[in-house]
Amino acid sequence: MAYLTLGSEARSFELVGDSMLKRLYRFYHGDNSKRNIGFCIGGITMSQLANRLAGRTVNQDVILQIGTNDLLVEGVELDIEKLKLEMNNLIAVVKESGADNITILTLPPIPSCGYRNGVLKIWKAFNKWILSELPSEERNVSVVNTGKIFYSFTKNHFKKDLFNDDMLHWNAQGMDLVLQMLDESL
């Protein structure tokens, strides 16, 4: 399992998501291995993660970030309604797996895609939906807007200095900023 201890109460959160959280876990713990860790799986989509989680158990406090790979699927037209449906389904599966509290991180932008193929437009719309529609006290779902660390909305550009050379994954400075934001928010 992949855990981070964060916040003023030093709560232990299980990480559930794709390679972004896998790398964040490794950075936090100084782990240089390439293996998947718990439910942090490189290249996984929301529907694949929901299938993998079904019937499994997770911690009561979960940090969830996923969707980047859904935006990168080759040959598939991006559909915001499908993304919303898959995220809601995944949240339900995480709840069924034992999570009492879910903290969702907004998606980081994908500088490697630039402004082509509508990825940036869908990314903005999906994050806007996450921020406005997913927080729910009755469902115990909260959102932390980590996406704003990596994109300047006032200047409408990517903060490329926070990414690795692949322009997809965060570098050490980017991961440190995410950890600071999480520690302050949780």
Q: What are the extents of the domains in the chain?
A: 3-185
pLDDT one-digit tens code per residue, 148-185: 999 988 888 899 999 999 999 999 999 999 999 999 99
CA proximity to 168, closest of 119, 96, 95: 119
CA proximity to 117, closest of 169, 65, 74, 167: 74
**113 three-class SS:** helix
CA–CA gap between residue 166 and residue 28 (Å, rounded): 21
pLDDT one-digit tens code per residue, 101-147: 999 999 999 998 876 668 889 999 999 999 999 988 888 999 999 99
Per-residue model confidence (pLDDT) at position 67: 95
User: For the chain, what is the total number of helices (H) and then of strands (E)?
Assistant: 6, 8
CA–CA gap between residue 84 and residue 75 (Å, rounded): 19
pLDDT one-digit tens code per residue, 4-51: 887 667 789 999 999 999 999 999 988 777 677 889 999 999 999 999
CA–CA gap between residue 132 and residue 142 (Å, rounded): 11
Q: Which two tokens stand for residue 176?
A: 């440190």
Per-residue model confidence (pLDDT) at position 155: 86
Query: Which residues contact residue 51 at a Cβ distance below 8 angstroms, ignoring those fewer than 6 apart?
Result: none
Which amino acid is present at 26?
Answer: R
Per-residue model confidence (pLDDT) at position 113: 86
pTM, two decimals, is 0.92
pLDDT one-digit tens code per residue, 66-93: 999 999 886 677 899 999 999 999 999 9
Per-residue model confidence (pLDDT) at position 162: 97
Pairing mode of beta strands 11-17, 3-6: antiparallel
Going from the C-alpha of 77 to that of each of 19, 74, 118, the distances in angstroms are: 23, 8, 9
Per-residue model confidence (pLDDT) at position 74: 67
H runs (alpha helix) in 30-160 = 46-53, 68-72, 80-96, 119-133
Per-residue model confidence (pLDDT) at position 3: 77
Query: Which residues contact residue 137 at a Cβ distance below 8 angstroms, ignoring those fewer than 6 apart?
Result: none
Q: Which residue has the higher pLDDT, 127 or 1?
A: 127
- What percent of the chain has pLDDT above 90? 71
CA proximity to 2, closest of 60, 49, 46, 63: 63
Per-residue model confidence (pLDDT) at position 87: 97
φ, ψ of residue 32 to 5 degrees: the values are -95, 10
Per-residue model confidence (pLDDT) at position 115: 67
The dotted CATH code for 3-185 is 3.40.50.1110
